[in-house]
Amino acid sequence: MTFVSWFKKVSLFIIALFLMSCASSLYEYSQSENYSHRVKFLVMHYTGADFNTSLTRLTQKGEASAHYLLPAQDDPSYPNNTLKIIQLVDEQYRALHAGPSFWQGRNELNDHAIGIEIVNTPTCHAPELNTALQQHNSASKLCIYPDYDAEQIALLIELSKAILERNPDIGPTQVVGHADIAPSRENDPGPRFPWYQLYQAGIGAWYDNETVEKYWQHFSVVKPSIVLMQKALRDYGYNVQPSNQLTPQTLDTLNAFQMHFLPWHVSGDADARTASVLFALLEKYFPEKVAQLMQQYHQAQKRSTKPIKPLVNAQVIARVPAVNPSSRALVNDRGTFRAYRGHGELIIENDDAISADIYINGEKINIADPLTHQQLYQYSLAKRTRNGVNTFKVENVMPEGAGLTLRFPYPTLSNRQSTHINFDAVDELINDEINNGFPGAVLAVVKHGQIIKLSQYGDAKKYHSDGTLLAKPQKMQADTLFDIASNSKMFATNFALMRLASEGKLDVEKPLTNYLPEFRGNGREQRTVKDLLTHRAGFPAVVDFHRKDNKLGERFFSQNSVRTKNLLLTGVPFIAGRNVAHIYSDIDYMLLGILVERLSGQSLDSYVESHIYRPLGLTHTVYNPLQKGFVKQQIAATELQGNTRGGRIEFNNIRTDVLQGQVHDEKAYYSFDGVAGHAGLFSTASDLSVLAQVLLNGGGYANKQLFTAQVLEQFIAPQPTNQTYGLGWRRAGHQARKWHFGPYASPQAYGHTGWTGTVTVIDPTYDLAIILLTNARHTPVEGGDIHYEFAGKKFETGKYGSVISLIYEAILNH
């Protein structure tokens, strides 16, 4: 180096130092308190692809990006033996991971969020959708979600804790999923993501169960309005516009909320459970907001013009002396009650009487003398009652001005099989057919408050899936559960609707849109609840949602309960005008099942199990029995090769093994997760006998009233357009349905049938109920590829009418 060049370099360095010293003298730093961090949110994603594909997509120019990528242990494309956190973008920079998004008042969360992509690969199907639904509606996709890798989640927790420490503006409710900030586009990180595990590690938000219970006490009785739910979701952070309509945006948001906080209950419904969790979260993290919402909730309750009618806890409740007596002296303090010979009970609530004379069927009964003030008395009427209508009369209540309250519970069933009525012809027919190949049956006959016959025949399961006989068939038992198919319409959906109507929550004459606001367009506004019950709404008999090749096209393909309900409410077209004809349709009862859920704030199975079956002590009447403690050996089998009709039918995810414990009906199983208004209920002959006795009693059992006699009469009354239709119930009419009711049933008899081989008959004229449960479809399928039938349906037992006829003959000829 020459002296000249060295001198030039030293000179330049001295000049640079001089300039820097001059520049620094122009600045002085003074800390302001008015600033915030760029990062406000932490967003969790799944990649939807393996590690190698994900890394390529997240690092290629023009693609998306994220700040971090977490591999999975079992991913063959991941090159390392131990999991490592892959940082793709420095936290101070903006990564492109969120897309169009919204949370807590902020749009475009890429500007404010750190994104973590986690390798996890669900399998999703999103067919072409109805135009009423959004093209990328998350609720419309059918996805199978794998569990997250435990080691991967441990790494995620470690990373998230460090991010939160570096970015103190990220609070618990700012740790969100991609589905939370873009619910109409995205599902990730999906319902398998362990949000609660992260919460336990100090990451993100969760609710307190005690608070959920507090709100459940309100919302299980009267759930919040749609607009209040929309406001609550928006107050928590979601992008929902309050409209009091279940818009696609609202449905998507509910779906995203449930995936985050109720992953075991992803229904898309604004039900009481979801509302309770949402309000519990608001109370924990936004207490001032929940206070305002609850004030609106209570104000709405005060404005309600239709209070719930309390149901009574007895068949007859009589206050004596009468509060407003008639001027005709001998009509006061008298009445009737239903009972059976050798059964019956009287409960007396004494206010302040000392003595009284009480007569049952004209005979004075012995009661305590003197009566004790404010005492409850219980007396058996077994020696006084007769079958059918009984009378009571009360006189001489002393001292004058004192009073009593008399309660007569509803009749209950006793199991005293008759040795006097000869059912040999019935047994001979069924046993002969069992010997000739019919699989099995259970028969219950109820008469005058007694199960006079309860018999089992044949096998609950006798075939392998290939049609060969089992070496040791599973014998039928009296308490075997059956898939009762369309009898679900009556003993689940109709029972629920009759109860809701009795409580004043439902008026069947009103349009369905009064209760389901999104049920609009193309004449839907004119369809009443009654139109659905009488099958006169004009819907097609069936839509095979579970098949892509259904008659309405692939856009009506759905193997997802939320999407199916959306299609039913907004998309299924009519094939006939309103009230033009009776078209027996599963669509009608699918919608009625949704109506029960909307009115009750519970899923259909939860509602009927908690409000109908359990109060009656029925433990063997359930949806999805294998999920509720039952095993296959307790349940009658149905089709041999799944839903294939002996290999003749094929569609996505079709079952191919012997069906036992899963609902056979394809739409109920694939498109409703096993719980639907038209099918899905399992029960036993004994449990159904109790439900039949409820009907014969006029709506109650023991000290439980399920619905009023007036509502029951409304539901079973014949329709003027067709005497064989009630509201849902099918009627004998004038022998118009002999194949179902036989030739002897009274015109007042009603009941239903089920595709799997079940039939029910309730005949008030004879105080009679018949329950025949068979597994007729548990037989090989015979015939060609187009015209075929189950071998079991060739037998008289599987055709119903002959067995019913023989039962009537045994009783009427006795």
Residue 323: the pLDDT is 84
CATH 3.40.80.10 fits 37-206, yes or no: yes
| Fold held by 316-408 | Jelly Rolls (2.60.120)
* Domain boundaries of the chain, sorted by first residue: 37-206, 207-305, 316-408, 482-812
- What is the arrangement of strands in the sheet containing 334-339, beginning at the earlier edge strand? 334-339, 388-398, 355-360, 363-364
Q: Is the pLDDT of residue 217 over 90?
A: no
CA distances from 386 to 314, 360, 413, 733 (A): 19, 10, 15, 29
Interatomic CA distance for residues 470 and 463, integer angstroms: 5
- Mean pLDDT across the stretch 98-121? 87
Q: What is the mean pLDDT of the chain?
A: 90
Element (H, E) at 251: helix 248-261
Closest CA to 272 of 292, 299, 297, 307: 297
Tens-digit pLDDT profile for residues 382-396: 999 999 999 999 999
Residue 139: the pLDDT is 41
- Mean pLDDT across the stretch 316-321? 93
Worst-scoring range by mean pLDDT, 259-273, 438-452, 578-592? 259-273
Residues whose CB is less than 8 angstroms from the CB of residue 653 and which lie 6 or more positions away in sequence, other chains included:
559, 670
- Mean pLDDT across the stretch 52-76? 87
Q: Is the pLDDT of residue 604 over 70?
A: yes
Interatomic CA distance for residues 26 and 15, integer angstroms: 17
Q: Is 395 a catalytic residue?
A: no
397 φ, ψ (degrees, to nearest 5): -75, 120
Domain 207-305 top-level CATH class: mainly alpha
Interatomic CA distance for residues 709 and 690, integer angstroms: 17
Instruction: Tell me which of 117, 609, 639, 666 is the catalytic residue.
Output: 117
Helix axes 272-285, 248-261, angle to 10 degrees: 70
Interatomic CA distance for residues 315 and 674, integer angstroms: 35
Interatomic CA distance for residues 444 and 689, integer angstroms: 7
Interatomic CA distance for residues 780 and 462, integer angstroms: 11
520 band by pLDDT with thresholds 50, 70 and 90: confident
Q: Is the pLDDT of residue 149 over 90?
A: no
Tens-digit pLDDT profile for residues 527-561: 999 999 999 999 999 999 999 999 999 999 999 99
Tens-digit pLDDT profile for residues 669-719: 999 999 999 999 999 999 999 999 999 999 999 999 999 999 999 999 999
Tens-digit pLDDT profile for residues 265-312: 887 888 888 999 999 999 999 999 999 998 888 887 765 544 555 667
Distance, C-alpha 526 to centroid of its chain: 26
Structure tokens at 585: 């349709």
Interatomic CA distance for residues 711 and 691, integer angstroms: 16
Worst-scoring range by mean pLDDT, 53-57, 638-642, 747-751, 770-774? 53-57
Q: Is the pLDDT of residue 127 over 50?
A: no
Element (H, E) at 608: helix 604-608
Q: How many CB atoms lie under 10 A from the CB of residue 409?
A: 22
Strands 86-87 and 68-70: antiparallel
Residue 732: the pLDDT is 95
Residues whose CB is less than 8 angstroms from the CB of residue 139 and which lie 6 or more positions away in sequence, other chains included:
251, 252, 255, 268, 560, 562, 563, 566
Q: What count of Cα atoms within 13 Å lies in the side-chain half-sphere of residue 483?
A: 31
Q: Is the pLDDT of residue 81 over 90?
A: no
Beta bridge mates, 106: 103
Tens-digit pLDDT profile for residues 3-38: 445 544 555 555 555 545 544 567 787 777 766 667
Residue 138: the pLDDT is 42
Asked whether 113 and 40 are in contact (CB, 8 A), the reply is yes
Tens-digit pLDDT profile for residues 792-812: 999 999 999 999 999 999 999
| Fold held by 482-812 | Beta-lactamase (3.40.710)
Interatomic CA distance for residues 555 and 124, integer angstroms: 16
Tens-digit pLDDT profile for residues 392-429: 999 999 999 899 999 999 999 988 776 689 999 999 99
pTM of the model: 0.69
Residue 308: the pLDDT is 52
